[in-house]
Amino acid sequence: MTEDDLLSAVLNEYLSTPAHDDKSAKEKRLEEIVLGRSADFVEALSSAPKRPADFAPADDAEEESANAWIDEDDADNLVSVRENQRYKRFRLTTEKHVSADELARRLRNEYEKNLPTPAWALQKPQSVSDASDPLTNSTGSYVDSASRYLPLKNFQCKRLTNLNYESPAKNTVHALEFHPTAQMALVASFDHSATLFEVDGKTNPKLKSVYFEGFPISCAHFLNQGSEFLACSKAHSTMYLFDLLSEKTTKILRNKAIPEQNFRRFSVSPDYSSLAFPARDGLMHILSGRTREWLYSLKTNGAVNVASFSGDSKYLYSVGDGGRVHVWDLRSRACSTSFVDEGCVVGTAAAVSPNDAYLAIGSNSGVVNVYDKKELSHGKTVPMKSVMNLTTQIDFLKFNPTSELLALGSNHTHGAMKLLHMTEMQIVASFPGLNDKVRKADVVDFSLNSGYMAVGNNKGEALLYRLGHYSGF
């Protein structure tokens, strides 16, 4: 006897058995409304269609392995495909109900027929068993630290132990400079001392400290490839030269051709051949970098606040009151051209990139204009970038040796220091950090290969940072 014959026999026996009619007419009517009549139940069972071949289910074992979770109640859940307008097109012949699993299978087949699986999804994944692949065998940031270009979004700047941790200054650090060849740095301040530190990022041990009695240092720079350094003071007309090899100090008296009684700052040419001292009445005194003797003076119509040499040491850029920038040809000792810095009333800072591509001018309003030197040579004096992130006077500008970063800042307010990414012409958002207390920065410098950056502030600290993109010192 087949399964259908057995089912028919059971139904016939059930229908032929007389039932005890203990229910009222209202109860019977309620059962018909809720449960349906017995004739409808028999008709539904007898007319249940068999699964056609084109909707045949996959092998049970394959389906169980493909599905992450199976609801056993779905097999008993019937969906009307005759009355539901949404599912009418999925019914076969005159069937009225199908199971939820069957309806889902038909919907899936219809979807795959209209939108077949793309070719890339059918490709088998490649083996990742290569143990030398750093992406699959390590965690962390997947940024190529040896990349040729400095990244902006993943800029890495880590605060290290203060450069002068062993011997902090008692006053504002006004002079700070890395040695041009050795892994050490010079830190000087108004406390009459200049100290050399070894740069290791951990303890930064002190190498040598030189005390200049009654001489508050306002500016100091290395000369002659770092074999000596020169210090000047805004309170004295004399200067001091310290030889690192012989450890001897030499006092340099004021030249009679120079009327100034003091020097607040000076600039050194990249080839160490010339020194530029801005002075009063629009004068700039040029001294020999080797002998410290006065060579000649340059004069403008307005006051000169700051001067900066070009990368090839052939030109000198000066700026002062009125925002007028003068470009001096040191070979002819004459002004080759001049222009007014856009929007500038008083120029307070200037810097030329080591690759001679950019000129940056800072003003007393906190604006820094960056110019393309090629455009300036053609008479176009429109800045390629105007940085307006600061609102107080710009006191220092410094390019890193690769000309990819420009550090700018003001000592008139706390935390007023920014880094400009020169390729993207955008401010580095991650510097300074939220918990990084830069305080009132007064001077900044980069190491030989841009691996380190140091910042001197009003608390006598020489903050040291490691720039992760650059390797070495």
Q: Residue 293 is part of which domain span? A: 157-467
Residue 66 falls inside a structural domain? yes
Answer yes or no: are the C-beta atoms of 280 and 260 closer than 8 Å.
yes
Band (pLDDT 50/70/90 cuts) for residue 255 is confident
| Domain count across the chain | 2
**350/418 same-domain check:** yes
Residue 23 falls inside a structural domain? no
**77/216 same-domain check:** no
**240/293 same-domain check:** yes
**307/216 same-domain check:** yes
Residue 447 falls inside a structural domain? yes
Query: What is the domain-level CATH number for residue 324?
Result: 2.130.10.10
pLDDT, residue 145, reads 46
Band (pLDDT 50/70/90 cuts) for residue 30 is low
* Residue 110 pLDDT exceeds 60: yes
**45/172 same-domain check:** no
Q: pLDDT tens digit string along 43-52?
A: 555 555 554 4
Band (pLDDT 50/70/90 cuts) for residue 207 is very high
- Between the alpha carbon of residue 334 and those of residues 256, 299, 313, 337, 358, the distances in Å are 23, 9, 15, 9, 22
**356/443 same-domain check:** yes
**86/200 same-domain check:** no
**286/407 same-domain check:** yes
In this structure, the number of other CB atoms found within 10 A of the CB of residue 346 comes to 17
pLDDT, residue 63, reads 45
- Between the alpha carbon of residue 249 and those of residues 181, 222, 243, 246, the distances in Å are 21, 14, 6, 9
Residue 368 falls inside a structural domain? yes
pLDDT, residue 122, reads 75
- Share the mean pLDDT of the chain: 84
* Residue 414 pLDDT exceeds 80: yes
Residue 14 falls inside a structural domain? no
**165/85 same-domain check:** no
Band (pLDDT 50/70/90 cuts) for residue 307 is very high
**245/389 same-domain check:** yes
Q: pLDDT tens digit string along 331-354?
A: 999 999 999 999 999 999 999 999
* Residue 132 pLDDT exceeds 60: no
Give the residue from 57, 81, 114 where a domain finishes: 114
* Residue 260 pLDDT exceeds 60: yes
Query: Cα separation of 344 and 363, whole Å?
Result: 6
Residue 249 falls inside a structural domain? yes
Among 107-116, 353-362, 442-451, which is the least confidently predicted range? 107-116
Residue 16 falls inside a structural domain? no
**207/95 same-domain check:** no
Residue 10 falls inside a structural domain? no
Q: What is the average pLDDT across 207-235?
A: 94
**244/382 same-domain check:** yes
Which pTM was predicted? 0.69
Band (pLDDT 50/70/90 cuts) for residue 60 is very low
Out of 16-20, 89-93, 398-402, give the one with best mean pLDDT: 398-402
* Residue 455 pLDDT exceeds 80: yes
pLDDT, residue 94, reads 75
* Residue 58 pLDDT exceeds 50: no
